[in-house]
């Protein structure tokens, strides 16, 4: 697994103006995929849509295709179990995503067509308010996420959240601070302590509907 210094370097390049927002999002997600060794890595933000609150992917890098790809929103109304786990635990961990209870709304439309077998999502907050999440996906074969990988993605989120906020605010028209009441849980800013990866699987299960 690569070092956190590479993430710092990419964030610094955007802060200095050496790269633009689109270049930052691609480089960042490429690096996350490389560090976690996953097939796909994405960055999402919480937005308000005409259909209600949703996670919108602002950048998804597909390592198998070596390019950025598009996805669709994860609507809270369609995936309540997913959002419940994300808010409760600060992350969603599914080694067997196609059979995980929290992913049932995505199985037929997204997981099976894309052959996505495992998912690891970690939320992040800005100023104590849920802003978005980072996602890792494994295609073709199940991947048993380790505690080390979960903590690595959390560390990446803690380091890059402010830079990401500035990058995606120019890409997505949304005010993150208005999306959740201040009383909502802010565990995504300081996720729970380490847990056994297998024990974490049931409470943390992703739902994601993408094209």
For residues 60-75, average pLDDT:
92
Query: Considering Cα of 156, then 160, then 162, then 166, what sign does the dihedral take?
Result: negative
In a domain, 103, yes or no: yes
In a domain, 112, yes or no: yes
Q: Which of 82, 68, 56 is nearest to 23 (CA)?
A: 68
Give residue-wise pLDDT tens across range 174-185. 433 333 333 333
Instruction: Kindly report, residue by residue over 115-146, the tens digit of the pLDDT.
Output: 999 999 999 877 777 789 999 999 999 999 99
Percent above pLDDT 90 for the chain = 51
Is 41 inside any structural domain? Answer: yes
- CATH assignment of the domain containing 107: 3.30.450.40
The answer to the question of residue 42 being in a domain is: yes
Q: Decide if 18 is inside a domain.
A: yes
The answer on pLDDT for 34 being more than 90 is: yes
Token digits of residue 31? 């690096």
Question: Across the chain, what does the average pLDDT equal?
Answer: 80
CB under 8 A, 24+ apart: contacts of 105-109: 105/78, 105/79, 105/81, 105/207, 105/209, 106/79, 106/206, 106/207, 106/208, 106/209, 109/209
What gap in Å lies between CA 68 and CA 165, rounded to an integer?
Answer: 19
Range of the domain at 109: 4-200
Are the beta carbons of 89 and 192 closer than 8 angstroms?
A: yes
pLDDT at 97 > cutoff 60: yes
Residue 206 lies in a domain: no
The average pLDDT across 57-86 equals: 91
What predicted TM-score, i.e. pTM, was given to this entire model?
A: 0.78
Least confident piece of the model among 53-57, 83-87, 137-141: 83-87
**Does residue 118 form part of some domain?**
yes
Evaluate if residue 66 carries a pLDDT over 60. Answer: yes
Count of domains for the chain: 1
Calculate the dihedral angle through the C-alpha atoms of 38, 118, 110, 191, rounding to the nearest 10 degrees.
-90
Give pLDDT, residue 201.
43
In a domain, 107, yes or no: yes
pLDDT at 104: 79
Q: Give 147-203 pLDDT, tens digit per residue.
A: 999 999 999 988 898 888 888 765 554 433 333 333 333 333 333 333 334 434 444
Record the tokens describing residue 161, joined without a space.
């959240």
């Amino acid at each position: 697994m690569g070092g956190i210094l590479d993430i710092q370097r990419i964030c610094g390049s955007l802060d200095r103006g050496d790269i633009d927002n689109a270049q930052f999002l691609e480089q960042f997600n490429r690096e996350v995929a490389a560090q976690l060794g996953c097939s796909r890595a994405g960055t999402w933000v919480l937005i308000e849509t005409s259909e209600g609150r949703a996670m919108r992917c602002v950048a998804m890098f597909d390592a198998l295709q070596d390019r950025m790809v598009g996805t669709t929103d994860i609507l809270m109304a369609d995936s309540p179990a997913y959002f419940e786990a994300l808010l409760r635990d600060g992350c969603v961990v599914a080694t067997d995503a196609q059979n995980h209870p929290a992913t049932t709304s995505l199985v037929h439309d997204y997981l099976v067509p894309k052959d996505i077998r495992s998912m690891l999502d970690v939320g992040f907050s800005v100023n104590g308010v849920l802003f978005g999440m980072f996602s890792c996906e494994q295609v073709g074969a199940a991947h048993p996420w380790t505690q080390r990988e979960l903590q690595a993605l959390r560390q990446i989120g803690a380091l890059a959240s402010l830079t990401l906020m500035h990058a995606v605010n120019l890409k997505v028209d949304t005010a993150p601070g208005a999306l959740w009441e201040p009383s909502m849980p802010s565990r995504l800013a300081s996720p729970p302590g380490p847990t056994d990866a297998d024990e974490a699987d049931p409470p943390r299960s992703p739902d994601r509907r993408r094209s």
